[in-house]
Structure 1
Amino acid sequence: MRDDSELVAAADAVFRDGRAARWELVRRTPLAFATHHPQGLAFVGDRIFLSSVELLESPERLPGGPGATAGRGIGHVFVLDAEGGLTRDIIVGDGDRYHPGGIDFDGTSVWVPVAEYRPRSSALVLSIDPGTLAATERLRIADHVGWIVADPESGQLHGGSWGSREFSTWDPAGNELDHWENPSTFVDYQDAQYAGHGRVFCSGIAALPTPFEKAARELGGFALVDFGDRRIVREMPIPLFSSARHVATRNPFALTVDSGKLVMHVAPDDGTEAAGTELLSYRATI
């Protein structure tokens, strides 16, 4: 059974410090391959798993309604060594379900949702064996699943819908055990990591329109969500930005601990942007 106590203690100290916490960039790792549009991040020993969507045809909004076309794409789960070198590209997806989301490692498997690239659609959930790198379909869900984590204590799965506007819990057979509306509109959670005892670390982004600039401003943040109590325990903004001026928590996100201090790993930029995708690691000082 994985032990998240040190990670939770380090994160709790940062949450208590809030906006006063200082983040130091301790490592910048350029990824020298076609990363496309990264989505989720997980660390497994000395290897790194990075999910990404390669978009071949963008979905388009349908006239007269909220729906959209499916678009076309290819789902990837990249396996990297500790230096960011690509060692395997696992292709994932099925038909219109080509968009991998936020991923997590539960101590045994890497869990990956692969959804249609539109809200209120469908998704399949895979587990990847870190040893063999074989991907196994575990369940299908009649909604877009943006990220998923496995709870090794209960055997349940927790996940978020498009933009994490809603949360769900499923059993291993795919039966929905709980479903609730996200009470927070602070940011749209994009990636997540299990935090023990039915709690989940989530990170994400909000696009804030402004009359002073053509492009919306990005707000980033992360949170601790309690699925047992159906509540957001803590949230805080993250004032960090990438080479392409994206907020650091735009998509992929993972937390580790170094000498008792929280380290946040992110990869916010697409492969086609100015500096390409860089894996950025920030250590928090309170």
Structure 2
Amino acid sequence: MKPRHAHKMGARLSTALLLAMLCARAAIAADPPPALPPEAAAADALALSFVSEPFPFDATHVQGLFVTRDYYFFTGVDKYTSSAFLFKVNRSDGSLAARKNIEKLFDFHPGGIDFDGKYIWVPVAVYDEYSHTYMTVVDPETLRHKIVFEADDHIGALACHGDTIIGANWNARDFYFFTRKGEIIEKRPSPTGVGYQDCKALNGHLMCTGGGFLDWIDIENWNLAKRFALGQSVEDSPMSREGVAWLDGQAFFLPDDGIKARVYAFSFTTGETDTE
């Protein structure tokens, strides 16, 4: 049997190796579309600062991510059992603190999520491009949930921007601006054409992930303010594939599914460090 310190040393070496691999991959930037203005040209993440161990449970097909100092919250879908989940995971050791089913009959496709200061907002839709969505709120302490309103489109990602809920439909072709009662304030076409998977509202911007990028969209001017090119996970998935979150100057990503799901954290220079 190996001594205990050998296991700890092996774990440290494994983490260091992962960091080195991911830093090398993050340095390879995808080319931005030529139509981008110079001020929004793609830049690389400054540094990969953290890689977690894989979660010791089946994370299903990951969708959206929200991070606090103590927990990871993320949505997942199992289309074979028609199940939608919200997971609550201890950041200290990656253990599962709680898991909640949030599907309703044929509506079992949760999307990207955000936090309004009290509740986690989750869109739960039919697994179809042309469908409706139950806009749902979840108490992060108890995971009790309730439907707030129904949207007449498939909302795949949302963000809490003050009293406004911004929802992006399938492939983020359009963005809806809802009141908290579900009234549509306006509907805007995508300013980038990227199929975003998850978004967060930060200091007047939408931070969204998809298409190999982490994009910062100016909400008032509705244009791309900044773009970061992302690399691949250790499982060779695009880092932008699914969930993204922001906390304490770091962007967190959860790109992989099932028993291979793990969290990555990067440091960026954006000037947008405070959530709304």
TM-score normalized with structure 2 length: 0.77
2:84 is aligned to 75
Q: 2:256 aligns with which of 257, 269, 272?
A: 269
| Matched length | 231
> How far is 1:19 from its partner?
2.4
One-letter amino acid of the counterpart of residue 265, structure 1: F
Q: 1:188 aligns with which of 176, 188, 195?
A: 195
Q: Would you say the 8 A contact 1:115–1:121 is kept in 2?
A: yes
Distance verdict in 2 for CA 1:51–1:37, change over 3 Å: same
> How far is 1:151 from its partner?
2.1
Rounded to whole Å, the distance in 1 between the matches of 2:89 and 2:52 is 15
Deviations 1:45-95 (A, max 9, x none): 411111001120xxxxxxxxxxxxxxx621000011112210111101212
1:212 is aligned to none
Rounded to whole Å, the distance in 2 between the matches of 1:140 and 1:234 is 32
One-letter amino acid of the counterpart of residue 26, structure 1: F
More helix by percentage: 2
Once superposed, which parts of structure 1, at least 4 consecutive aligned residues long, lie more than 4 Å away? 15-18
Q: Would you say the 8 A contact 1:101–1:191 is kept in 2?
A: yes
More strand by percentage: 1
SS at 2:210's partner residue? strand
One-letter amino acid of the counterpart of residue 53, structure 1: V
> How far is 1:148 from its partner?
1.1
2:266 is aligned to 282
2:94 matches 1:102: no
Deviations 1:158-198 (A, max 9, x none): 1101011111100111111110111312x31100111133x
2:215 is aligned to 223
Q: 2:50 aligns with which of 10, 26, 30?
A: 26
One-letter amino acid of the counterpart of residue 250, structure 1: R
TM-score normalized with structure 1 length: 0.75
Consecutive unaligned residues in structure 1, runs of 5 or more: 1-14, 57-71, 206-219
Q: Would you say the 8 A contact 1:164–1:189 is kept in 2?
A: yes
Rounded to whole Å, the distance in 2 between the matches of 1:151 and 1:285 is 22
> What is the aligned-residue RMSD (CA, Å)?
2.1
Q: Would you say the 8 A contact 1:106–1:194 is kept in 2?
A: no
Which runs of structure 2 are paired with 1:3-152 in the superposition (5 Å)?
18-56=42-80, 73-82=82-91, 83-152=93-162
> How far is 1:25 from its partner?
4.2
